[in-house]
Chain A
């Protein structure tokens, strides 16, 4: 590389340079938690041990224990599967559906596009909490209801993003050139538009996982999500409330996990965004 270190690109990349390794470490830890919780967690996350109720952090219980004597660290480790797993599922289902929907809408153009986007607005404007309440009421509370209600309000973001990109990209000269060669709409979408949309969508997915995690844990915290004794992070915080005065660790560690995960997702998303070509 050249010596001109003062290029705007490098200046922009600098703050990320400090945080990114930390975010990646958090990501690696989360991946490990999700894939092999049994190898990391020292204790059973569900089994009660009433003699160990609300013990402060120690070598045996690094995050302390809860009101049932369960190891909070083990519960946090196993909880990644639930909290993060559901968040990732929501984002991927939304992205898949939203990309398809948005791409079709953008390519269709005209009235159909208009109609499809009004439907998007309908879902977009719907308050998440009301929808979650309604779905929890009809399906029963649980992570399945949370995943469904959040997916329903999440996909329109992708549909809008992708439609906008498609509208922008289809005026590009190379798309026009492909059209001039008689390439079909479907192939144009697949080969000449989607590859450029994917970059934007990747950035969005990475950042969204953090937001979705916060939303999932928030719904659980409000009692609309996971049921005890599932070690879901939002539920841990909900269960910890009565003991906050005496057992700070019960609240602080799951909360810190949520915060760190959401922040890491945002930092990695930013890093991806600054690295994509115009």
Chain B
């Protein structure tokens, strides 16, 4: 495994008590897989993903352990983390326009990744930057390398961000909502590109999203997060076909709207994600859960094996009981 997270807790010091956004979660990411962390806004998914590169917010406190290639990555000195960032872990953000510095040409910023790690001298780094732009299928890469971020399209910017993240040939790519700011056709192209570079550069990809469509497209394994806890974790095929946690099931049905006929009822999940200062007792999903019983209110379910997946629920959905979800969605 390339990443091993144990009892990761991320919180913020409050005035009278601490607000815990990610609560004692553990998971492994295997080398070469596409691991998707999915959850609503506020579920702690981005905090979890970013903390692997040591990029949690300055004001957050973090405990537990994150092993990256068997080396502790948590609470390491900045100089240590800087060696890993960019060189061994590449990151892509949601907002490609904001993430590019408006005062420097695109190529210049891709080259910076290489010069920052002493991997190339400026001239050679620039050549490599143009190569990378070509690699992410940007037409006329030399011209785009000399262009400023505002001069190129949103899709191109995200491609440039991918080129930037991969310039130093990292082995792990963390993508935080990489397609959220893009329109549907560009989104499909970017996902396709991610799948392609992953294959060609033998990358491990951790993708953070709230979009079930993205999951279906490229996930090998899924981690479903809810209010800072893991709801369900397991192979993507298994979870997509037979969601065991009622929350996962609800996410699946709410995600089908775009592809189902207009007549079908829109399945939104009732209620909203709880605030960090008002987490419910027991299972954190129980106030919104259609299957909640008395024990869900009093005790927090432990994660346990259930069929081919692990699920933290007292009353998981038995595979047969679920209406067949989307099957055989091609990757086209």
Which chain A residues have a beta carbon within 8 Å of chain B's beta carbons? Answer: 109, 172-174, 176-185, 187, 191-192, 195-196
Contact = CB atoms under 8 A, between A and B. Distances in A.
Nearest to A194: B103
Given A177-B91, A191-B112, A182 B104 contact: no
Contacts of B100: 174, 177
28 contacts: A109-B58, A173-B93, A173-B95, A174-B98, A174-B99, A174-B100, A174-B101, A174-B102, A176-B99, A177-B93, A178-B112, A179-B55, A180-B85, A180-B86, A180-B91, A181-B90, A181-B91, A181-B164, A181-B165, A181-B168, A182-B82, A182-B86, A182-B116, A185-B78, A187-B112, A191-B104, A191-B112, A196-B103
Nearest to B110: A181
B83 interface: yes
Interface string B74-99: 00001000111111001101010011
Contact of B85 (A174, A181, A195): A181
Given A181-B85, A181-B86, 9 more contacts: A109-B58, A172-B98, A173-B99, A176-B93, A177-B91, A177-B93, A180-B85, A182-B86, A195-B103
Interface of B: 53, 55, 58, 78, 82-87, 90-91, 93, 95, 98-104, 109, 112-113, 116-117, 161, 164-165, 168
Contacts of B161: 177
Contacts of A183: 82, 86, 112-113, 116
B49 to A, nearest CB: 11
Contacts of A172: 98
A173 B87 contact: no
A195 B108 CA distance: 15
Contacts of A187: 112, 116
B172 to A, nearest CB: 12
Contacts of A176: 55, 93, 99
A182 B117 contact: yes
Main secondary structure on chain A at its contact with chain B?
A: helix
A184 B86 CA distance: 11
B327 to A, nearest CB: 37
A180 B55 contact: yes
Contacts of A195: 101, 103
Contacts of A181: 85-86, 90-91, 112-113, 116, 164-165, 168
B272 to A, nearest CB: 26
A259 to B, nearest CB: 37
Contacts of B113: 181-183
Contacts of B53: 180
Interface centre among A109, A182, A183, A195 (most CB of B within 10 A): A182
Nearest 10 pairs between A and B by C-beta? A182-B86, A173-B98, A181-B86, A182-B85, A180-B91, A177-B99, A174-B101, A183-B116, A181-B113, A173-B99
Contacts of A182: 82-87, 113, 116-117, 168
B110 to A, nearest CB: 9
B136 to A, nearest CB: 16
A145 B268 CA distance: 73
A199 to B, nearest CB: 10
Nearest to A181: B86
A180 B166 CA distance: 12
Contacts of B168: 181-182
A8 B52 CA distance: 46
Contacts of A174: 98-102
Residue of B85, B101, B116 contacting most chain A CB atoms (<10 Å): B101
B83 A178 contact: no
A178 B109 CA distance: 9
Contacts of B103: 195-196
Nearest to B83: A182
A48 B220 CA distance: 94
Contact of B116 (A109, A177, A184, A196): A184
Contacts of A177: 91, 93, 99-100, 161, 164
Nearest to B117: A182
B88 to A, nearest CB: 9
Contacts of B98: 172-174
A196 B104 CA distance: 12
A276 to B, nearest CB: 13
Contacts of B55: 176, 179-180
Contacts of B164: 177, 181
A172 B98 CA distance: 7
Listed residue (A179, A187, A196) with the most chain B CB atoms within 10 angstroms of its CB: A179
A179 B89 CA distance: 12
A185 B116 CA distance: 10
> Which of A172, A179, A180, A187 has the most CB atoms of chain B within a 10 A radius of its CB?
A180
A179 B53 CA distance: 10
B90 to A, nearest CB: 8
A196 B101 CA distance: 10
A109 to B, nearest CB: 7
